[in-house]
Structure 1
Amino acid sequence: MPTVVIHSKGEAFSGEVKEDTNLVVRAGIKQFPYPHLAYKCGMGKCGTCASRILAGAEHLPPPNWKEKKQLGDKIDEGFRLVCQLWIKNDIELRQEKVTEQA
C-alpha cells in the first residue's frame, strides 16, 4: 500500500492508501488525507488541489491536458493537480498557492 505524506500548515501528515487511489476522492469521503488536502471540483477545473510533488513524481504519468491548461509552466516546477492522479506508489507533496493561468 502506498504511503502518502502531505505537508500542510507547517506540519507533515502521513498515511497509507490503497493502490490506485485518488486522494481527492478519499478526502471527499472523509478518509486520509482529509482534512489536510484542499480541493473543490475534483475535475481539474479549479486548481484548488494543485500541489508540488516533493517525492515520487517519477512514478506518476505525464501531466494530462487539464493539468497543462490549469498549471501551465508550474508543471516544470513540480506542480500537479492531485485530483488527476491515481496513486500507485509512495508520494510526498506540499500544497502551495498557484497563480491561475490565463
Structure 2
Amino acid sequence: MPVVILHKHGQTFQDEVRPNTNLVVRAGIKQFPYPNLQYECGMGKCAKCATRVIAGAEHLPPPNWKEKKQLGERLNEGYRLACQLWLEHDIELTQD
C-alpha cells in the first residue's frame, strides 16, 4: 500500500492509500488527505491542486497535456497536479 506524506502550512500528514488512488478523489469523499489538500475542479482545469513532489517522482508517469498547460515552467520545479496522478508507489508532496 502506497504511503503518502503531505506537507502543508508547517504540518505533516501521512497515511496509506490503496494502489491506483487519486488524492483529489479521496479528498472529495472526505478521506485522507481531506481537509488538508487544496483542490477544486478535479479535472486539471484550475490547477488549485498543484503540489510539488519531494520524493517518489520517479514512479509517476510523465506529465499529461493538462499538466503541461496548467503548470508550464513549474513542471521543471517538480510541480504536478494531484488530480491527474493515480498513485502506485510511496510519494511525498508539499502544497503551498
TM-score by structure 1 length? Answer: 0.93
Structure 2: gaps spanning 5 or more residues: none
* Percent of aligned pairs sharing the same letter: 68
**Partner of residue 58, structure 2:** 58
Secondary structure at the counterpart of residue 25 of structure 1: helix
Shift of 1:71: 0.2
Q: Does 1:29 align with 2:3?
A: no
**What is the CA–CA distance in structure 1 between the aligned matches of 2:32 and 2:52, rounded to whole Å?**
18
Alignment of 1:83-98 (within 5 A): 83-96=83-96
Secondary structure at the counterpart of residue 53 of structure 1: strand
Moved beyond 3 Å, runs of 4+:
none
Shift of 1:9: 1.0
In structure 1, give the amino acid aligned to 2:42: G
**What is the CA–CA distance in structure 2 between the aligned matches of 1:58 and 1:36, rounded to whole Å?**
24
TM-score by structure 2 length? Answer: 0.99
In structure 1, give the amino acid aligned to 2:16: E
